[in-house]
Structure 1
């Protein structure tokens, strides 16, 4: 049974093998990390934005899942503008803070690059069922079954941890111990959740071992993980986006290989 919502499960990207999505995310990330310039990041972000229309996420789901990224990207850019490498004309200076034309361009490049790398990664894996990903890692990439199944079990526990956190907070308030200082309450509740997680992990490990998940015998899989035309097309699109963004930056003369900057 899929953990995805029906409207996401039926989307074009959700039906693609998760291994192909992982390959696209890794390839785009590595390519965009090779240079820090505005053009390549802008082109990649534009093309990725067009691709996201086929993700199946509605506007609310998209903004809810990517909200941390929209907050982190401008912050990273602002930090670079204020404290990054100075070059060109000085636009503003006060104490340790200096804003120059070079740092402003660099900050904009960092902001766009964080968005261009983060958005496809978040959306691609928002359309991926953890069980499908585990099947792909084990059957397509041939990763060890013990590692894959252990990771899958951990991912499946995230939802339970969220429920446990809410239950712990409600229980502490019911006992009258949840009104202390925010940092104290966070620390004590986090420690209680850690103890609960360790106990649950031990029980889960024992149960999985009892059911033969730790055996050295080759496993069979309930659902075959196929890698076909759709997966090749998606990887091709990812390579195309990376290639076009690099070509645009080279043509515009803004390409700056990251190793050359050092």
Structure 2
């Protein structure tokens, strides 16, 4: 997985999401989810590690499925009819498809994007996609500062608690801390921009300490992504479950 360029990972994530976005059937989404999960385990993620990262999806998927079951398209046998709330065979089928789709979209993102080093991604964006270096490096600096914001938030919480202000009026405490953190962010961003200008960032053509190139592993990865998408759509078409959006 480390041999795949970060830019290629983004392209693969887009390619794997296309079959899920353009269809509404459950079979194509199920094949995408199962195959992507299997590839993740085969590439060394481990079943336990993947399941831990899928916990947020276990919260989102039921909410989306229930909403679709209650307010989805009405067709076939109607099980419940309470005005706006109609549960039918069609809405239940759509709910199942939506439930699986959340995992089909989430697993590739977890597999491909959560393990990317921000610096490697910046190198790829600037050298492979030829995006402006000033924009790329500024974005990288912002990403690197997220950890500092988290530290600032914890420090603010400890300071207020030390003053005896931490356990009263939680809404007011959150708003006060959020405003203070915003002030810190503006000041730190101004200092960072000045420092980057002083060091010549964005002043002309740049050299890069670590070259970012595409190789054979990137070609193989893209072909595998295309094959997985074709397999999902082909299986859905063969078993007559294929449902293209808008059809």
TM-score, normalised to structure 2's length? 0.94
Cα offset, 1:84, TM superposition: 1.7
Q: Distance in 1 between matches of 2:141 and 2:52?
A: 25
Q: Distance in 1 between matches of 2:175 and 2:44?
A: 38
Q: Deviations over 1:136-179 (max 9, x none)?
A: 11111111111111111111111111111111111111111222
Q: Which of 226, 235, 240 is the equivalent residue of 1:239?
A: 226
Q: Which residue of 2 aligns with 1:44?
A: 32
Q: Distance in 2 between matches of 1:128 and 1:55?
A: 15
Correspondence 1:170 to 2:158: yes
Q: Which residue of 2 aligns with 1:110?
A: 98
Q: Distance in 1 between matches of 2:171 and 2:226?
A: 46
Q: Secondary structure at the match of 1:258?
A: coil
Correspondence 1:98 to 2:67: no
Q: Secondary structure at the match of 2:210?
A: coil
Q: Distance in 1 between matches of 2:216 and 2:166?
A: 55
Q: Distance in 1 between matches of 2:238 and 2:42?
A: 30
- Judging changes above 3 Å, is the alpha-carbon distance between structure 1 residues 34 and 95 closer, same or farther for their aligned structure 2 residues? same
Q: Which of 219, 228, 236 is the equivalent residue of 2:206?
A: 219
Correspondence 1:207 to 2:195: yes
Correspondence 1:66 to 2:54: yes
Q: How many residues align?
A: 247
Q: Deviations over 1:166-216 (max 9, x none)?
A: 11111111111222233222222211111111111111111111111121x
Q: Which residue of 2 aligns with 1:254?
A: 241
Q: Deviations over 1:88-143 (max 9, x none)?
A: 11122335322111011101111111210111112211221111111111111111
TM-score, normalised to structure 1's length? 0.89
Cα offset, 1:56, TM superposition: 3.9
Moved over 6 A (4+): none
| Conserved 8 A contact 2:19-2:232 | no
Cα offset, 1:15, TM superposition: 2.9
Cα offset, 1:236, TM superposition: 0.9
Q: Which of 109, 115, 118 is the equivalent residue of 1:127?
A: 115
Q: Which residue of 1 aligns with 2:132?
A: 144
**What 5-or-longer segments of structure 1 have no aligned partner?**
1-12
Q: Distance in 1 between matches of 2:83 and 2:171?
A: 32
Q: Which residue of 2 aligns with 1:4?
A: none
Q: Distance in 1 between matches of 2:161 and 2:117?
A: 35
- Judging changes above 3 Å, is the alpha-carbon distance between structure 1 residues 154 and 241 closer, same or farther for their aligned structure 2 residues? same
| Conserved 8 A contact 1:85-1:102 | yes
- Judging changes above 3 Å, is the alpha-carbon distance between structure 1 residues 61 and 208 closer, same or farther for their aligned structure 2 residues? farther
Correspondence 1:161 to 2:166: no
Q: Which residue of 2 aligns with 1:34?
A: 22
Q: Deviations over 1:42-66 (max 9, x none)?
A: 0111110111114543455434433
**What 5-or-longer segments of structure 2 have no aligned partner?**
none
Q: Distance in 1 between matches of 2:132 and 2:148?
A: 26
Q: Distance in 1 between matches of 2:51 and 2:172?
A: 32
Q: Secondary structure at the match of 2:86?
A: strand
